[in-house]
Structures are given as C-alpha cells and as structure tokens.
Amino acid sequence: MTLQIPKKLVIASRESRLALWQSEHVRDQLKALYPACDVQILGMTTRGDQILDRTLSKVGGKGLFVKELEAALLEGRADIAVHSSKDVPMDLPEGFMLAAFGVREDACDAFVSNHFAALDELPAGAVVGTSSLRREAQLRARYPHLQVAPLRGNVITRLAKHDQGEYQGIILAAAGLKRLGLGHRIRSLFDVTQSLPAPGQGALAIECRADRADLVELLAPLHDAATAACVRAERGLSRALSGSCQLPLAAYATTEAGQVWLRGLVASPDGQRVIRDELRGAAADPEGLGSRLAVRLRAAGAGEIIAALT
C-alpha cells in the first residue's frame, strides 16, 4: 500500500524551551522526510507547567504534562504529541498509543554546580535541589549528610534558581541540558549504579490516537527499535509496580546481543531502604521482562515499601 503523505501535520507541544526543542526536532525530521507536508507546532501550556509551588508527587503526577496535549489530539486540533518518555503516565487513556520512540539521548542524571565538581565535594548540610523522589531517595541513601530541597520549574528556571544561590548543587537529566546546548553546565555525570534513571529518561515518545494507523506508518522512519524495547521494558516494570510520582522508582535498560538488560530500583523516600535487582530477557517481549523483574523486586521488599506509601 502506498504511503499517503498528508498536506498538513500538527504537533501538540508544551511551550517550555526543552519541549519546543523536542517538537522542533521531530518537525525537522518529518519535513526532511516529507517536504510537501506542512508540519506545524501547536504550543500549549499544561497544568504541570502552571503549578510550580508543589512537587509533582503532591499535585497529581506526570499526567499533568500530557492531558491538554491529549485533548488536542482527541479534538483533532493536533495529529501527534511529542513528549519526553519519562513524563508519559504508565497507563495511557483509552484511545491513545505511543506510535514511535526516537533514538535515545544520554539517559543519566547530571550534577550541576557553580562551586563543586561533584557531589562528593559538598560539605555536610549543603543543599541539593531536585524535583524527583527517585533522585531524592538515592541521594539520601548515598549522601545522608546533605540536605535535599524541592526544585520545580523547567530546565531554565531550575538553573536560574541555582544561579541565585538557593542551592549548592542541583540534579537534572543530562539529556535535557545537552538538547538545549547547555551541556557545559554539567560538572559530572552519575553512573547508573550511583543514580539509576527514571523509566524512559532521555527518550522522546510520539503519541497519537489509537485509530490513526496512517500516522504509525508515517512515523516509522523516526522509530528506533532498540530504544523502544528498552523504554517498554522500563515502563513495564513501573506499570507492574504501580509506578507513580509518589513512589521512588527507577528503571534503566540497554540492549545487547538481541537481549534487553533491565535494572530496577525501589526505595523508601528517606533512602533508608533501597531494593535493587536486574534481569535479562528477549527484546521481543520487553513488557514481560519488566513484569518479571517487578515480581522479584516485590519479593525482595519493594512490596512493603509500596504498601507503606499507598
């Protein structure tokens, strides 16, 4: 069947600099593939962008960043939405699908500081900013002598708060800094054994309505199978553990020799308990791999942590 190229394609996007970079990146790829198609971006402000005085875990979680974009898809004002995969809730509303995953950028967490080259250099009582319970729990486990303080806002806002002296250091996703041309702000990268990333961190996801098979075909050249297998394994683990912003949960997968190597972590928010495990499995069934690792983590003590938090 011949691929039908639409005359116009509209991308729903948040209006932060990083979100627009991501949407412009996808737009430019699509325009290169389909020069006759008019690819436009519909900028939108989401509730997640508006509520900056409370942590995500207290205001409703990651869905706050995608609901308005999904409404635009449902109403036909946009055809696709571009997200950072880690911002996409583990269970999509009925009628939506993730049609493609772009090649993954660096998935690691990054340390940013104007005065210190690494967390190990911070003195006792120094304040470290992060927006994530996952990062906070791992920080508290490894560096109990440091203070962890909430840090909300987009990447530019968080950097500005640090530059104003509110924090001695902050933790951000390396991918976002690199995509914005701010890689020079990174003082050091965390190895995944030091700070295991969030499910989907560093990978772009393109969402559309489930009844738009034409878009899946159109987006196929942008889809990276290895990234998709890894992110689906990570999301499968998180989904099986009822992963949300209220649970300090991390998951990171890589592919090697046709297999997916998935590492997972569940911690108590205070960092006193950290449960880790890993598993390898076929790339053909990444969600199943995630589910099996979830069973092992629950049995090792993650179930007790989850029960205490819910």
Domain ranges (residues) in the chain: 1-102+203-223, 109-189, 224-310
117: DSSP letter: S
Tell me whether domains 1-102+203-223 and 224-310 share a fold: no
CA-to-CA separations, 51 to 45, 153, 187, in angstroms, rounded: 11, 9, 29
pLDDT band at 234 (very low <50, low <70, confident <90, very high): very high
What is the tens place of the pLDDT at every residue in 93-104?
A: 999 999 999 999
Task: Please determine, looking at this structure, whether the domain spanning 1-102+203-223 carries the CATH number 3.40.190.10.
Answer: yes
- The CA distance from 77 to 97, in Å, is 17
- In the residue annotation, 87 being an active-site residue is answered as yes
Q: What is the mean pLDDT of residues 103-128?
A: 97
How confident is the prediction for the chain on average, in pLDDT?
93
- Does 57 score more than 60 pLDDT? no
Question: Tens digits of per-residue pLDDT, 268-296?
Answer: 999 999 999 999 999 999 999 999 999 99
Catalytic residue from among 28, 53, 79, 87: 87
Alpha-carbon distance 206 to 27, whole Å?
11
Query: Over 80: is that where the pLDDT of 125 sits?
Result: yes
Regarding pTM above 0.75, the answer is yes
Q: Residue 63 pLDDT more than 60?
A: no
Torsion-angle region of 89 (φ positive above 0: left; ψ -120 to 50: alpha; else: beta): beta
> Which fold, 224-310?
Double Stranded RNA Binding Domain (3.30.160)
- C-alpha distances (whole Å) from 239 to each of 155, 196, 209, 247, 263 are 27, 17, 21, 12, 15
Does residue 62 surpass a pLDDT of 60? no
Tokens representing 66 are: 């995608």
Fold of the domain spanning 109-189: D-Maltodextrin-Binding Protein; domain 2 (3.40.190)
